[in-house]
Structures are given as structure tokens and as C-alpha cells.
């Protein structure tokens, strides 16, 4: 196959058939922008989840006579634990008082401090899953002086569920808009083929290989996908800039979004034009 010819004709198809090509690229930009916005939302949520998880603590409640400083040292040798800090009954009560605010006076009716001493443990990221937490809880309960272990599994569970729902929605949107993008490219390629039927027939009669005849249309489809995804990238970045005052330190996932938009853009362009070309038969007349 003549690569130079295919590339030249492919770019000529895209730039000469401006209206159809740019209309297809514009629709690509719109549908990929929708994908991009969903992907951006997912990245935001992932960052948020990581932030929440970094605050996740495991609290080991101790019996009143337990050696809390000694236990901290032992816990810190366990896999998955970054650091531990001992909290005495008095410190815990003081914190509780602060949390209650104006209602703290209610605590005055108590004769004695009901809060046990405890050790708060910070975890490494890989130990923030439900299974690892269960295993860690079992390990901690084996230590003398540990009465109970508390982990906020609900928060973790809710965050994960929400994330899975969003990822599912992402996949659904990608499929849906991907389908429409493929249809649009098919139509654009059909128009281009109809427009150039005379030239195709001429080349075909001259002995040009069918693959060489069809390849420029695939190149045109790839161009449409590429241009559409670049525009979509710009739109999603603008969306991020608009939201940035609300997002604080959340950064723009530049490379991830480039891969999410340009990859499917090229695939949809290739699929759409390829399907249209397969449906097109070279005349035997």
C-alpha cells in the first residue's frame, strides 16, 4: 500500500470536505466532552475518597490497666500501621466535651469518666480496604489489654459503593456516546464516499488495490476522532477551571483525561469509518 498516497488523500478528504468533516469532528467533541466531564467527576471523587481514607483511623480501646505506651510501640511494628498515638481516658473525655459544645454540661452528671483509654492508629493506603481492616482487627484483639477495636467501615463502604455507581455510569455514558460517535463517523464517511464515488471508480478501474482505495477514509475518520477529542479536552479543562474555586487543591488529571478522550476518539473514528467502508462495495461495472 502506498502510505504517502493514503496519508495525502486522507488529509485531503478531511480538509477538502470541510463541512461534513468538521460537523463530524464537532459532534465528536460534544459526545467526548460528556465522557470527559463524567471522567473528571470520577477523578474528583477518587481524590475525595483518598482524602477521606487518609483520615481513616482504627481505634483500639484498652482496659484501664493496660500499658498504652508499650502497646503503641508494639502496634507500630505491625504491617499496615503508619503511626499510633495513645489517648488517655481524661484526654478522650476532654475531646468529647469539645465535640458536645454547649451540651458538654450534660457530662457533669456522670460520677466517673466512662471513656476507656485508647490507641489511635493511622494506616498505610493499602490497608484501607475492608478485608485488610478485618484482618488487622483480629490481630489487634490478640494483644493483652485490648478490649475492643473500632473501625468506621460504613464510611468506607458508602464511599466505595458511590464510586462503583459512578464508574458504572461512566462506562454506560462511554458506551452510549461511543455508539452515537460511531454512527456519526459512519454517516460522514458515507457522505465522503458518495461525494467521491467518481474518483473511487476511476482509481478502481486503474487497478488501485481496494485496501489503498479504502484506507484514506479510515484516515479521515481518525482525523475526525482526533480533532474532536482535542476540542473535547479543551472543553473539559475549561470546565475544571470554572469549578476550581470550589475544588481547593484538586489538580487537573491531564494525562489521564488525554488518554480517556484521545484513545476512544481515535477508536470511534476508526470504527465508524471502517464500518462505512465495509458496507461500501466496489462496483464490478
Partner 1 sequence: MIRLEGVAKSFAPDRDVLGEINLHVKKGEWVWLLGATGVGKSVLMKIVYGALPPSQGKIFVLDEDVSSLNETGLSRLRRRVGIVFQDIRLLDDRPVLENVALVLEALGASGCDARERAERWLESVGMSDHSSRCPYELSIGQCQKVALARALAKEPEALLLDEPFSALDETQEREMLKLLGEVNHEGTTILAASHTHEILHFLPGRVLQLTGGSIQ
CA distance 25 to 181: 9
Q: 1 vs 155, which CB is nearer to partner 1?
A: 1
Q: 155 vs 202, which CB is nearer to partner 1?
A: 202
* Residues within window 203-232 making contact with partner 1, judged by CB under 8 A: 203-210, 212-213
Q: For partner 1, what does the binding mask look like between residues 104 and 143, x meaning CB under 8 A? A: ----------------------------------------
Please say whether the beta carbons of 58 and 52 come within 8 A: no
Q: 8 vs 158, which CB is nearer to partner 1?
A: 8
Q: 59 vs 208, which CB is nearer to partner 1?
A: 208
Q: Is 19 in the site for partner 1 (CB under 8 A)?
A: no
CB of 279 to partner 1, least distance (A): 15
Q: What sign does the CA torsion over 150, 155, 156, 161 have?
A: positive
Scanning 2-10, 25-33, 120-128, 236-244 for contacts with partner 1 by CB under 8 A, the matching segment is 2-10
Q: For partner 1, what does the binding mask look like between residues 254 and 283, x meaning CB under 8 A? A: ----------------------------x-
Q: 204 vs 237, which CB is nearer to partner 1?
A: 204
Q: What sign does the CA torsion over 7, 9, 12, 17 have?
A: negative
- Cα 17 to its chain centre, rounded Å, is 36
Scanning 148-156, 161-169, 197-205, 262-270 for contacts with partner 1 by CB under 8 A, the matching segment is 197-205
CA distance 182 to 270: 8
* Of positions 19, 55, 98, 284, contacts partner 1 by CB under 8 A: 284
Closest CA to 2 of 188, 203, 283: 203
Scanning 82-90, 137-145, 183-191, 202-210 for contacts with partner 1 by CB under 8 A, the matching segment is 202-210
Scanning 3-11, 111-119, 175-183, 258-266 for contacts with partner 1 by CB under 8 A, the matching segment is 3-11
Cβ contacts of residue 84 below 8 Å, gap of 6+?
71, 72, 75, 76, 119, 120, 121, 122
Phi, psi torsion values for 149, nearest 5 degrees: -125, 135
> Nearest 5°: CA angle at 145, between 56 and 139?
50
Q: Please give the torsion angle defined by the CA atoms of residues 62, 51, 77 and 73, in that order, rounded to the nearest 10 degrees.
A: -50
CA distance 6 to 217: 9
* Of positions 138, 202, 247, 254, contacts partner 1 by CB under 8 A: 202
Phi, psi torsion values for 76, nearest 5 degrees: -70, -15
* Residues near partner 1 (CB under 8 A): 1-2, 4-5, 8-9, 198-199, 202-210, 212-213, 282, 284-285
Amino acid at each position: 500500500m502506498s502510505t504517502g498516497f493514503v496519508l495525502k488523500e486522507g488529509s485531503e478528504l478531511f480538509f477538502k470536505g470541510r463541512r461534513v468533516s468538521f460537523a463530524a469532528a464537532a459532534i465528536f467533541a460534544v459526545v467526548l466532552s460528556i465522557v470527559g466531564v463524567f471522567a473528571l467527576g470520577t477523578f474528583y471523587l477518587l481524590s475525595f475518597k483518598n482524602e477521606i481514607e487518609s483520615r481513616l483511623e482504627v481505634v483500639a480501646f484498652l482496659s484501664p490497666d493496660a500499658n498504652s505506651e508499650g502497646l503503641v510501640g508494639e502496634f507500630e511494628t505491625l504491617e499496615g500501621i503508619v503511626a499510633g498515638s495513645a489517648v488517655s481516658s481524661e484526654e478522650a473525655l476532654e475531646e468529647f466535651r469539645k465535640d458536645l459544645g454547649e451540651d458538654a454540661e450534660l457530662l457533669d452528671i456522670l460520677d466517673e469518666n466512662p471513656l476507656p483509654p485508647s490507641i489511635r492508629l493511622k494506616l498505610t493506603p493499602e490497608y484501607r480496604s475492608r478485608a485488610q481492616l478485618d484482618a488487622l482487627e483480629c490481630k489487634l484483639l490478640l494483644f493483652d489489654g485490648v478490649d475492643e477495636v473500632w473501625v468506621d467501615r460504613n464510611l468506607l463502604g458508602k464511599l466505595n459503593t458511590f464510586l462503583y455507581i459512578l464508574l458504572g455510569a461512566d462506562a454506560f455514558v462511554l458506551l452510549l456516546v461511543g455508539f452515537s460517535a460511531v454512527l456519526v463517523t459512519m454517516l460522514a464517511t458515507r457522505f465522503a464516499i458518495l461525494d467521491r464515488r467518481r474518483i473511487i471508480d476511476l482509481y478502481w478501474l486503474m487497478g488501485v488495490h481496494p485496501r489503498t482505495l479504502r484506507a484514506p477514509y479510515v484516515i479521515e475518520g481518525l482525523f475526525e476522532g482526533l480533532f474532536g477529542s482535542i476540542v473535547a479536552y479543551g472543553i473539559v479543562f475549561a470546565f475544571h477551571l470554572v469549578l476550581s474555586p470550589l475544588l481547593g487543591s484538586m489538580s487537573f488529571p491531564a494525562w489521564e483525561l488525554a488518554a480517556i478522550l484521545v484513545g476512544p476518539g481515535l477508536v470511534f473514528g476508526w470504527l465508524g469509518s471502517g464500518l462505512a467502508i465495509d458496507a461500501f462495495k466496489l462496483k464490478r461495472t
